[in-house]
Chain A
Amino acid sequence: MDQSRERNTESAEPLTQSWKISRRAMVAGTVATTAVAAVLPLSNLAYAQASNPRQDMVAFLLLSEALTGVNRQTLAPEFSADANEILNSDPGIDPINIKNTYFDWTKTHAEPSLFAKLLQTAEEKGLSQDNIIAKVNSDDDTKFLARSIVLLWYLGSWYDPADLKANASPGTRHAISSKVVSGKAYTQGLVWQIVGAHPMGYSNLQFGHWSRDPHDLNGPNGSPLPLFSAPKS
């Protein structure tokens, strides 16, 4: 299956340079620079040293936590946060490491400037999760990329933001094609846990579990076991 299993954040390659530039450009608020940045090549830039993969990953996790409604320590099991300096905290090494798969996938499939903008939103100091959501929703372009990222986490499948936008009029009934990112991504889909189940074809549970409440895996006298922890706002 996916070879990226062994990779961790420390060894992840630096972010695609073009969006790093456009992100800084937007910080500066110069439209002209943004336009230039969008056509720059993807590598061999002098800015390479300026990128901080660890900080990018933490921003991705903060963004994902707010959008998915699932605690970042569920998204990245070894995440250790320093409350004061969260962007410099350690996104952690975990044996599944699906966060890198999703980060890399988004990087290669999304419009770089939009992904940069989303990460920047998550980096803003003091922005609550509700405010992150409100800010993401206020921009029609980041909104659909944000939905694609949530669908990645929930289902392990990529729905193209353009397809989501094309089918977004309220109450649309339509099939949208999607691509399973990898076998690993399918088995790590969060929606299964959210509904108290497991991915079909990938159960770590034991014989007879279906006879009991999923929050009470050890029988009627066991203590309720939360399948995921909701983020703190």
Chain B
Amino acid sequence: MADNCITCDVAIVGSGFAGSFIANELIRLSRLSRKDLKVVILEAGPDVQPNFNAYMKSFYEASFKVPESPYPPAVSDSDENIINPRKVPAGRPSSLTVGGSSWKDPGKAYLDQSTSNRPFKSTYERLAGGTAHWMGLTPRLVPNDFRMNTTYVKDQPPPKNKDLAKDLQSFVDWPIDYNTIELFYEKAEAELGVAADVDEQRFCGIDFRDNYQYPMPKIPPSLFDQRVGQALAHLDDGETQFLGMGRTVTSLAVRSLPAARNSQPYRNRRACAGNTNCIPICPIQAKYDPTITLNEATNNGATLVHHTVASEILVEKGQVSGINYINYGHEGGPKTGCLKAKIYVVAANGIETPRLLLMSKNKGQTPNGVANSSDMVGRNLMDHPQYLSWGLLPQPAYPYRGPLVTSAIGELCDGPFRAQRAAFRVSLGNEGWTTVVGGGAQFGSDPHVTTLDFINGMNSSGLNQKSFSGLADDNRALFGADLTRTLGNLISRQFRIAFPVEQNPDRDNRVTLSSALDALGLPRPKINYDISEYTKQGFAAAFRLKKLIFSKLGATDFTSVPQDDPAAFNVDDTPELFTYGGAGHVMGTYRMGDDPTKSVVDAWQRSHDHPNLYLVGSGTFPTVGTANPTLTLSALALRTVEHIFKNLPSLKS
């Protein structure tokens, strides 16, 4: 190790939600107790920008408006050719290469999925603030999500289907429960600025402390939310029996979804103006993003070192002794350096964290990587595979307005059925057919695709048929008032509904190291991924619920699966073809648990192997439920801060 290392008290790798929360809370606690605490954060990507103008320009000018469009580095060159990730210092997966024809080509796709059964479709960013492109949804996990094994596996008769029985055995309990995390949910909700209504959120065992109120009133429902709520207000028990809720279901409540989205001015940020652009970027920062907490941390003394990729965690005598890094922000080329601290925190997401741990071989002394005596690092990669459906309403509900999602049906996420099939939630979209038109991104996005159809007599959307358009013929090419009338009529009736489905842990869904390198010469992540019978059965139930909702709405179903979709599958012997989308929820790859032989970190997210190393983020989730993970990983990070602070040795007063 070089002599000129940066020294500090706490070294953090990654400046996203978990990293920023830990940095800022540590600084706050140290100030309260009048301690001098030096926190250094390594960030693989660029620094926080003074404003969003450059990001907005990139977004507006992008031909393909995907989650990474606003953010550096560019995925494509000026001729729209995908840039080989071998040439990028700190690359990341792109929506343009996680499906389609290039997903198995490491010359185009950052993640090496050349040997994977199915594509892992989620992406992430590497820049200061990390997951700034998130949707902003912040539901809590429900109590049974923390004890899947106890509630639904341990004392239950195993299902007859052998695959299903095996899948169920993979469920473990968390080492903590809902009550342990509840207080930290509140703290995280305050920092994120969550808008929601307490009374509306009491379902599936979720409870709140007396007099607790969310920081802001709930986000009002879109016209489509209201329409679905009316359609599902009165149901017949027979129509809903397939859900296996173990109780009579004669109505389904559409509830406002908790979101880190301002329903009134909050901490100097303005209220949501409904830009319908939460993913990839809120132009007015009404949606919380981690640069807000990160800026507070750096304003109060934390140091952010950007364009700096951690390349190896060094271990001496069981303790982490330093982190080597490569800084590529210099004109003269990359420079190596090192960071020494008392406590080390890796907060680099569910793929980059295991990648760093596995890369850290310490000249052969840790051949399986750091913190990996359990062999669990990189295993149990999970997402919330999404069943996407879309259709046409009989009357306009005027989509392409409001936050991307304002309401959901949450109460189906827990019940006795979880001993037989995966749970799901039902997320109602306000962005029409943007992400789904024609069966995914193959034709581009809407309203562009439908507009092109009716100007050029095409039918990529499926809408250019007289039965839908009301025109004299199929495949019409229009000008003038016919065109405005037809587009106004059809596009204002579009909707989509997504069903994010639970995925059970599978040790063979795995992050390892690829022989494909990045521009710094570091091995890129290699992914092996599949979805289980348990998850597929969840899709089958989601499909049945979709049919019920569409029929109650009087809607026409346009859901389709592209013929060559590498993710496509059937359930049982039914002809219905399914596929899934990525939710961007990268989870499970350094799970927490009490048993050091079966988990990577303990209940405090501290490495079982190295007492001064903490691994944070959704990679520690042993099981994933159906809630969007950001609130939970933020709450866990705040809980971990207390442990770090209490155990920081001999701080200077």
Question: B487 on the interface (CB 8 Å rule)?
Answer: yes
What per-residue 1/0 map shows which CB atoms of B477-513 lie under 8 Å from chain A?
A: 1011111110110011000000000000000000000
Q: Is the CB of B451 within 8 A of A154?
A: yes
Q: How far is the CB of A61 from chain B (nearest CB, A)?
A: 14
Question: B455 on the interface (CB 8 Å rule)?
Answer: yes
**B221 contact set on A, CB distance < 8 A:** 211
Q: A164-B456, A171-B458, A196-B492 are in contact. Are A213 and B398 (CB under 8 A)?
A: yes
Q: Is the CB of B400 within 8 A of A171?
A: no
What per-residue 1/0 map shows which CB atoms of B218-229 lie under 8 Å from chain A?
A: 001111001000
**B456 contact set on A, CB distance < 8 A:** 147, 164, 167-168, 172, 176
**Majority secondary structure of chain A interface residues (helix, strand, loop or mixed):** loop
**B487 contact set on A, CB distance < 8 A:** 191, 194-195
What per-residue 1/0 map shows which CB atoms of A27-58 lie under 8 Å from chain B?
A: 00000000000000000000000000000000
> Whole-angstrom distance between the alpha carbons of A159 and B449 in the complex?
12
Q: Which of A4-12, A67-75, A99-107, A114-122 contacts B (4 or more CB under 8 A)?
A: A67-75
> Whole-angstrom distance between the alpha carbons of A47 and B306 in the complex?
58
Question: B272 on the interface (CB 8 Å rule)?
Answer: yes
In the complex, residue of chain A having the shortest beta-carbon distance to the beta carbon of B276: A200
Q: A66-B480, A210-B274 are in contact. Are A196 and B398 (CB under 8 A)?
A: yes
Q: Is the CB of A186 within 8 A of B457?
A: no
Question: B171 on the interface (CB 8 Å rule)?
Answer: no
> Whole-angstrom distance between the alpha carbons of A203 and B447 in the complex?
16
Question: B322 on the interface (CB 8 Å rule)?
Answer: no
**B400 contact set on A, CB distance < 8 A:** 192, 195, 197-198, 200
Q: How far is the CB of B196 from chain A (nearest CB, A)?
A: 16
Q: How far is the CB of B223 from chain A (nearest CB, A)?
A: 7
Q: A174-B460, A207-B274 are in contact. Are A195 and B398 (CB under 8 A)?
A: yes
Q: Is the CB of B401 within 8 A of A157?
A: no
Q: Is the CB of A198 within 8 A of B276?
A: yes
Q: Is the CB of A69 within 8 A of B452?
A: no
Q: Is the CB of A180 within 8 A of B477?
A: no
Q: How far is the CB of B262 from chain A (nearest CB, A)?
A: 8
Q: Is the CB of B60 within 8 A of A187?
A: yes
Q: Is the CB of B271 within 8 A of A207?
A: yes
Q: How far is the CB of B52 from chain A (nearest CB, A)?
A: 10
Q: Is the CB of B62 within 8 A of A180?
A: yes
Question: A125 on the interface (CB 8 Å rule)?
Answer: no
**B275 contact set on A, CB distance < 8 A:** 198, 200-203
Q: Is the CB of B459 within 8 A of A183?
A: no
Q: Is the CB of A201 within 8 A of B276?
A: yes
Q: How far is the CB of A19 from chain B (nearest CB, A)?
A: 22
> Whole-angstrom distance between the alpha carbons of A186 and B63 in the complex?
10
**B226 contact set on A, CB distance < 8 A:** 211
Number of contacts between A and B (CB, 8 Å)? 195
Question: B283 on the interface (CB 8 Å rule)?
Answer: yes
Q: Is the CB of B484 within 8 A of A69?
A: yes
Question: A15 on the interface (CB 8 Å rule)?
Answer: no
Question: A77 on the interface (CB 8 Å rule)?
Answer: no
> Whole-angstrom distance between the alpha carbons of A173 and B226 in the complex?
33
Q: Is the CB of A211 within 8 A of B60?
A: no
Interface size on A, residues (CB 8 A): 64
In the complex, residue of chain A having the shortest beta-carbon distance to the beta carbon of B406: A210
Q: A133-B480, A192-B400 are in contact. Are A201 and B60 (CB under 8 A)?
A: yes
Question: A178 on the interface (CB 8 Å rule)?
Answer: yes
**B485 contact set on A, CB distance < 8 A:** 69
Q: Is the CB of A69 within 8 A of B222?
A: no
Question: A220 on the interface (CB 8 Å rule)?
Answer: no
**A218 contact set on B, CB distance < 8 A:** none
**A179 contact set on B, CB distance < 8 A:** 63
> Whole-angstrom distance between the alpha carbons of A174 and B65 in the complex?
18
Question: A83 on the interface (CB 8 Å rule)?
Answer: no
A168, A170, A202, A230: which has the most chain B beta carbons within 10 Å?
A: A170
> Whole-angstrom distance between the alpha carbons of A159 and B56 in the complex?
23
Q: Is the CB of A183 within 8 A of B60?
A: yes
Q: Is the CB of B481 within 8 A of A200?
A: no
Q: Is the CB of A130 within 8 A of B447?
A: no
In the complex, residue of chain A having the shortest beta-carbon distance to the beta carbon of B441: A175
Question: A225 on the interface (CB 8 Å rule)?
Answer: no
Question: B61 on the interface (CB 8 Å rule)?
Answer: yes
Q: How far is the CB of A202 from chain B (nearest CB, A)?
A: 7
Question: B35 on the interface (CB 8 Å rule)?
Answer: no
- Partner of B459 from the list A70, A133, A171, A231 (CB cut-off 8 Å) is A171
> Whole-angstrom distance between the alpha carbons of A198 and B483 in the complex?
18
**B448 contact set on A, CB distance < 8 A:** 155, 157, 178
**A205 contact set on B, CB distance < 8 A:** 273-274, 401
Question: A136 on the interface (CB 8 Å rule)?
Answer: yes
- Partner of A154 from the list B403, B455, B458, B482 (CB cut-off 8 Å) is B455
In the complex, residue of chain B having the shortest beta-carbon distance to the beta carbon of A227: B488
In the complex, residue of chain B having the shortest beta-carbon distance to the beta carbon of A169: B457
Q: How far is the CB of B136 from chain A (nearest CB, A)?
A: 14
Question: A138 on the interface (CB 8 Å rule)?
Answer: no
- Partner of B63 from the list A130, A177, A210, A213 (CB cut-off 8 Å) is A177
- Partner of B273 from the list A129, A137, A203 (CB cut-off 8 Å) is A203
**A201 contact set on B, CB distance < 8 A:** 56, 59-60, 275-277, 281, 283
- Partner of B443 from the list A66, A129, A175 (CB cut-off 8 Å) is A175
> Whole-angstrom distance between the alpha carbons of A190 and B155 in the complex?
60
Question: A84 on the interface (CB 8 Å rule)?
Answer: no
Q: Is the CB of A69 within 8 A of B481?
A: yes
Q: Is the CB of A155 within 8 A of B273?
A: no
Q: How far is the CB of B271 from chain A (nearest CB, A)?
A: 4
- Partner of B480 from the list A67, A171, A200 (CB cut-off 8 Å) is A67
In the complex, residue of chain A having the shortest beta-carbon distance to the beta carbon of B402: A210
Question: B131 on the interface (CB 8 Å rule)?
Answer: no
> Whole-angstrom distance between the alpha carbons of A198 and B275 in the complex?
8
Question: A109 on the interface (CB 8 Å rule)?
Answer: no
Interface residues in B234-292 (C-beta closer than 8 Å to A): 263, 271-277, 281, 283
Question: A87 on the interface (CB 8 Å rule)?
Answer: no
> Whole-angstrom distance between the alpha carbons of A200 and B60 in the complex?
9
- Partner of B452 from the list A159, A171, A210 (CB cut-off 8 Å) is A159
Q: Is the CB of B57 within 8 A of A183?
A: yes
Q: Which of B102-110, B138-146, B430-438 contacts A (4 or more CB under 8 A)?
A: B430-438
**B80 contact set on A, CB distance < 8 A:** 177
> Whole-angstrom distance between the alpha carbons of A196 and B488 in the complex?
7
Q: Is the CB of B276 within 8 A of A171?
A: no
> Whole-angstrom distance between the alpha carbons of A202 and B61 in the complex?
13
In the complex, residue of chain B having the shortest beta-carbon distance to the beta carbon of A148: B455
Question: A126 on the interface (CB 8 Å rule)?
Answer: no
List 26 A–B pairs whose Cβ atoms lie within 8 Å, in order of A's numbering.
A66-B479, A68-B479, A129-B480, A137-B479, A151-B451, A154-B455, A168-B458, A170-B474, A173-B438, A174-B458, A179-B63, A180-B61, A191-B447, A195-B487, A196-B396, A198-B276, A201-B59, A201-B283, A203-B273, A203-B274, A203-B401, A204-B273, A209-B274, A210-B402, A230-B484, A231-B481
Q: Which 9 A-B pairs have the closest CB atoms?
A: A210-B402, A197-B400, A183-B60, A170-B475, A201-B277, A69-B484, A195-B491, A69-B480, A171-B475
19 extra interchain contacts, Cβ-Cβ under 8 A, other than A180-B61, A203-B275? A68-B480, A69-B480, A69-B485, A70-B484, A151-B452, A155-B447, A155-B448, A172-B459, A173-B459, A174-B460, A175-B444, A182-B60, A187-B60, A194-B488, A200-B277, A201-B56, A202-B283, A205-B274, A206-B273
